[in-house]
Homo-oligomer: A and B are copies of this chain.
Amino acid sequence: MSRPTIAEVARAAGVSVASVSRVLNGLPATEEMVVRVQRAVQELGYVPDSRARSLKVGRTFQLTLAVADVGNPVYVTMMRAVEEVVSAAGYRLVVTTTGSDVVDEVALVRGMARGYADGLVISPLRVDDDLIKSIRECDVPVVVAGNVPASAGVDTVRANSPKGMALAVEHLLAKGRDRIAFVNGPVDTVPGAARAKGFADAVKQYKLEAAGTIEADDFTFAAGRAAGREFFETNRPNAVICANDLLAVGVMHELAAYGLAVPADVAVIGMDDSELAEQSFPPLTSVNLGSAERGRRAAELLLARIDDDTRKPKRIVVQPTLSVRRSTP
């Protein structure tokens, strides 16, 4: 015996399928009707089929969050925030990993047309015209957690990297560190470009002589280590800012290998203020770019747009703060 349908419940309760549906969805019904239906539901162990319901109402009550790398702890933070908001609104969250290739991102957005989910929060690592186009043409609402042009006409919520970079530089200068190096991720990515600009701005504003910039191959721990190796063969900075926490932890490992103490010899600042910042040793001073708040607001924007698709696209910017820990003096 397979799963009972609403028709069998109706038969068992001696009422119509419409009445069963109404009771199940909390629409007006007499006390007796409610009792009869609920009893039948109970007895048969009836559970509504979400597939059929989805087809009928045109919604899956499922939302997608697309991130580049589930191994990056910043996405854990963001995921938690998004999950909290959407589940409170009665949606399930589907987390998808796109990888760092933009064609996979485009394929994902295009695939949304199949109706897997009612909406999408995407945090794209790389953005090109194809991606913007696919987002604009997407059948379901999309919110970008990241930076795309206003012309894309889409809700966005992004971090303020330049401001965050300024916080990091100010902190280091206040602690007397003036030879500041910068380890970035790939500059052809959205966060990479933003961090690069932020660092350049800060250097100019504070009239620093930048003690070298290096572009790691990726935003990962391994890339951070490799960058660190390359780095300390050429420069001798007394501080280094990294584009995210994973890179920073990688660099710290390499510093240790070179016998340099953190923060005594070299101060290190990460970005994202992820759980890893707290767990690393020494605990990592990190720029909190508001990943939790960005996730929360992105989810809220998505829900709002699902509710009303005519509203004007919002562009939210979340301001950074600095979480000072022991990797800086």
Q: Which residues of A contact B (CB under 8 A)?
A: 2-3, 47-52, 54-55, 58, 60, 62, 70-71, 73, 76, 79-80, 83, 92-97, 110, 113-116, 139, 221, 246, 249-250, 252-253, 256, 275-276, 278-281, 283
Contacts and interface: CB of A to CB of B under 8 A. Distances in A.
A219 B277 CA distance: 18
Given A55-B55, A97-B83, A113-B3, A279 B221 contact: yes
A50 B116 contact: yes
A264 to B, nearest CB: 15
Contact of A3 (B60, B83, B139, B280): B139
8 contacts: A47-B110, A51-B51, A51-B54, A51-B55, A71-B80, A94-B95, A221-B275, A280-B281
Contact of A114 (B47, B73, B93): B47
**How many chain copies does the complex carry?**
2
Nearest to A77: B71
Contacts of A76: 70-71
A50 B114 contact: yes
A94 B92 contact: yes
Most buried by B among A48, A62, A95, A139: A95
A110 B47 CA distance: 9
Given A221-B279, A275-B221, A281-B256, A60 B51 contact: yes
B79 A70 contact: yes
B48 A114 contact: yes
Contacts of A249: 279, 281
Nearest to A116: B50
A55 B114 CA distance: 14
Nearest to A47: B113
Given A71-B76, A76-B70, A92-B96, A115 B275 contact: no
A54 B56 CA distance: 12
Contacts of A113: 3, 47
A115 B70 contact: no
A69 to B, nearest CB: 9
Contacts of A47: 110, 113-114
Contact of A94 (B71, B94, B279, B281): B94
A88 to B, nearest CB: 14
Nearest to A252: B281
A52 B50 contact: no
Most buried by B among A54, A110, A139, A246: A54
